[in-house]
Amino acid sequence: MNDTDISGRVALVTGASSGLGMRFARVLAASGARLVLAARRVDRLEALAKELRADGAEAITVALDVADIASIPAAVARAEQAMGPVEILVNNAGISRQARLEEVTEADYDAVMQTNLKGAFFMAQAVARRMIALQIEGRIVNISSVAGIRVQGQLSTYSMSKAGMVAMTKSMAREWGRHGINTNAICPGYITTEISADFLPTPGGQKLLASLPRRRMGEPRDLDGVLLLLCAGEPARFLNGSIITADDGFSVW
């Protein structure tokens, strides 16, 4: 991958059926990438793929629950069969459970870790194996969170999973860099999505806004620039193992 853009590159985005994953897919498609959209909710993926195709992009859908580890290699194989080898992975799928530490159940703990950390690891592994075998200079972008840098109250398992992803990213960069694969992570701060939109007008939402450095939430578009940089070829060739916070200063506030 030596181009200065991502035009024509095959990009796989997990968790593409909503929120940031949907935004990432649209941004990459607008920049000329050929999209593989992966998530559990296939109906929403198909609607997004139809939208992207109407705008002139190439896009296919792959049903995938990253928590089902055994299904990951087959999903990567389907993507490669349909679009060619994956050159960019946006490892975005994730879930959260809110509870005080003393109230966390084993089931909730396992669900968060299985998706956010274990699923993300084996997703990256499956893609990286093909990159190594085919000698592809690839890009892996892990979507962590500011919660992996600055622990958040009542989000203990989520924070632990995202901190684990930070360490995972550095490990991948160290081992796979010699194969030409650059692995980096984005740690978004508080971003307005369909999940948070209903929460913001509530007293809890207003309290959250008051705690932010500039009393504002981010928008999904605020991550566009860093995403495109980390997916690029030559401009990103020296970025490997970087953990980039995009949080309006929240992690240092």
Respond yes or no: is residue 158 known to be catalytic: yes
Determine the 3-state secondary structure of 13 from DSSP.
strand
Other beta carbons within 10 Å of 42: 16
Q: What is the DSSP string of 187-250?
A: EE-SB--HHHHTTTTSHHHHHHHHHSTTS--B-GGGGHHHHHHHH-SGGGTT--S-EEEESTTG
Q: What is the DSSP string of 42-104?
A: HHHHHHHHHHHHHTT--EEEEE--TTSGGGHHHHHHHHHHHH-S--EEEE-------B-GGG-
Give every CB contact of residue 118 below 8 A, 6+ residues apart in sequence. Answer: 67, 69
Determine the 3-state secondary structure of 253 from DSSP.
coil
CA–CA gap between residue 124 and residue 15 (Å, rounded): 14
Q: Which of 158, 176, 190, 250 is catalytic?
A: 158
Residue found by looking up tokens 């060739």 in the block: 237
CA–CA gap between residue 70 and residue 120 (Å, rounded): 13
Read off the tokens for 74: 């087959």
CA–CA gap between residue 211 and residue 98 (Å, rounded): 18
For the annotated catalytic residues, the residue numbers are 158
